[in-house]
Structure 1
Amino acid sequence: MLDVGFSELLVFGIIALLVLGPDKLPEAARFAAKWYSKFKRVISNVQNDIDRELRLSEFREQMQNEMQRIQELEQKVQAQMQELQQQSIIAAEKKLPAAESSNKNLSLTYHFIKPTVPSFYFFKMWIKQQQCADVYIPPVETVYPAQLQVAV
């Protein structure tokens, strides 16, 4: 801070002793030390606030960079999802004509005579046609083959 040596402090002390006298010198020294500590505290608080603001601005900048990176990644993921959806739609459209022809054959094969066949039976038949072996179907009501008629 100030370039004050021991000789300057000695001269300052002698002048203060002559001006203030021996009774008021300790009181004046305490007063000066008190104000010096307050001044030093204020200066350190200001420095800490400046440092904190600088770190905060750097942190904000890093956050903005990360947010931009996240948004870019999100856009890439959305683009990939759209590509996958388009591919699945195209694949479904290719499989659709084959599925429609097999469904026409199946719809021509079975005609139900009685409307008393439970709707659960249709679900069981669909599961069997799709060859889903992992699905557990609890027994509800038995339907005998005599109730079905095969169209030729």
Structure 2
Amino acid sequence: MLDIGFSELLVFGIIALLVLGPEKLPEAARFAAKWYSKFKRAISSVQNDIDRELRLSEFREEMQQEMLRIQELEQKMQSQMQALQQQSLLAVEKEQHTASSQNKNSPVIYNFMHSTVPSLYFSKIWMKKHNCSYEQLHIVPSESRIMPELKVAV
């Protein structure tokens, strides 16, 4: 901090001895050491606070960058999911159109892999809405169809 050598300290000590005398010199040295240590602790405390604030601000910036990156990935995933849903809807419509044009009396085939209705909500009400009955329903096992893969660019 201060470039004070041994010779400067010796000169300072001799001057202090002459000014204060031998009786008050130890008391003055303790007093100076006490205030020097308080000053040093205060300076180190301020430095630690500044370092902590800098680290905190850097951490906040990194968090914001990661949040932006996550939002971009989410948007990409949503666009890919929408594209997959459109493809599956087109495929279902095409299958329904070909099935209806081939034979009006043939059983209706619903594949849950391409259906917009989750199997959890598959009920009599849904079947009535789509003019289906249990006799006409033919469920294709999910193992027989290959699921489309969702690719996410990172």
TM-score, scaled to structure 1: 0.66
Determine the C-alpha separation between the residues in 2 that align with 1:87 and 1:56: 46
Structure 2 match to 1:22: 22
Determine the C-alpha separation between the residues in 2 that align with 1:131 and 1:8: 97
Matches within 5 A, 1:23-38: 23-38=23-38
Matches within 5 A, 1:28-67: 28-67=28-67
What residue ranges of structure 2 are gaps of 5+ in the alignment? 108-123, 125-131, 143-154
Greater share of residues in helix: 1
Structure 1 match to 2:135: 125
Query: Deviation of residue 90 (structure 1)?
Result: 0.8
Give the AA of the match of 1:125. E
Matches within 5 A, 1:1-152: 1-100=1-100, 104-105=104-105, 125-126=135-136, 130=138
What residue ranges of structure 1 are gaps of 5+ in the alignment? 108-118, 135-152
Query: Deviation of residue 125 (structure 1)?
Result: 3.0
Q: Write the deviation string for residues 101-134 of structure 1: whole angstroms up to 9, x where unpaired.
A: 6884269xxxxxxxxxxx9xx96534xx516689
Q: Write the deviation string for residues 56-98 of structure 1: whole angstroms up to 9, x where unpaired.
A: 2221111111111111110100000110111111111112224
Determine the C-alpha separation between the residues in 2 that align with 1:77 and 1:22: 82
Determine the C-alpha separation between the residues in 2 that align with 1:133 and 1:80: 25
Q: Write the deviation string for residues 6-59 of structure 1: whole angstroms up to 9, x where unpaired.
A: 121111111111211222111111110010001111111111112112222221
Q: Tell which structure's C-alpha radius of gyration is larger.
A: 1
Give the AA of the match of 1:130. H
Give the AA of the match of 2:6. F
Determine the C-alpha separation between the residues in 2 that align with 1:29 and 1:13: 10
Give the AA of the match of 2:2. L
C-alpha change, 1:133 and 1:68, in structure 2 (3 Å) is: closer
C-alpha change, 1:57 and 1:2, in structure 2 (3 Å) is: same
Query: Deviation of residue 99 (structure 1)?
Result: 4.0
Determine the C-alpha separation between the residues in 1 that align with 2:70 and 2:95: 37
